[in-house]
Amino acid sequence: MYLKRVAEGPQRGPQLLVSRADAGLVVYLFANEVPEIEDEAVRIIAVAREANPPSRLVGPRTKIAVDTLERDVDPVGACIGARGSRIQAVVNELRGEKIDVIRWSPDPATYIANALSPARVDEARLVNPEERQAHVLVAEDQLSLAIGKEGQNVRLAARLTGWKIDIKDVAKYDYEAENRKIEAAAAQHYAQEIEEDYIEYEDTSEEVDEDALLEQTTEVPSNSA
């Protein structure tokens, strides 16, 4: 169990709110099993967990993104352990829940591709960075793996990265058509920014004019003898 909160009860004293479905439980278990996390050589950047899947056909699953500032430390390898010993201990605590440990990256395209593990990604295209939308291109034999059963793999990858992910067959992907859409969206966004800046400029100009008018109409008392 993972202790989420302690609340003071009016009559029965402190009340403990615990959960086995909270993502914090996964973080706690890895911190116990991986000394590099406790030593802060390895950092857990994000966790996406589906402990209670919407379909009975899909089992519980977690994706965890890790990183390190140490050149000689492999953060993914540290979490997995020799022959999978560390991650297996966490899986056992979670009653067989599937766990994907992936490497975090400051580059969104790389991060998205990593998050879709175990699928092999050919290319991740950031088609609309402002709306955080990406197209991920994979080979035909990787489509089902990238999407996952009942869409679980891509759903967790989207939660982990914070991007809307659309899986595409690389062999059927129309680069020219998609590039036109990207250029049109970028032009529309640029025009919207220009319009917002112009409106803001007009508002500022009106404020200045009102101040100037106030100064012109304010009478200054004369010093008469």
Say what the pLDDT of residue 53 is. Answer: 87
Whole-structure pTM over 0.85, yes or no?
no
**Whole-number mean pLDDT of the chain?**
85
Residues 102-151 have pLDDT tens digits of 999 999 999 999 999 999 999 999 999 989 999 999 999 999 999 999 99
HEC states along 16-48? EEEECCCHHHHHHHHHHHCHHHHCCCEEEEEEE
Give the pLDDT mean for 171-185: 91
**CATH 1.20.1050.10, applies to 1-104:** no
Give which of 173, 150, 147, 149 is closest to 158, Cα–Cα: 147
Whether 24 has a pLDDT exceeding 60, the answer reads: yes
pLDDT above 70 coverage of the chain, percent: 79
Residues 63-108 have pLDDT tens digits of 999 999 999 999 999 999 999 999 999 999 999 999 999 999 999 9
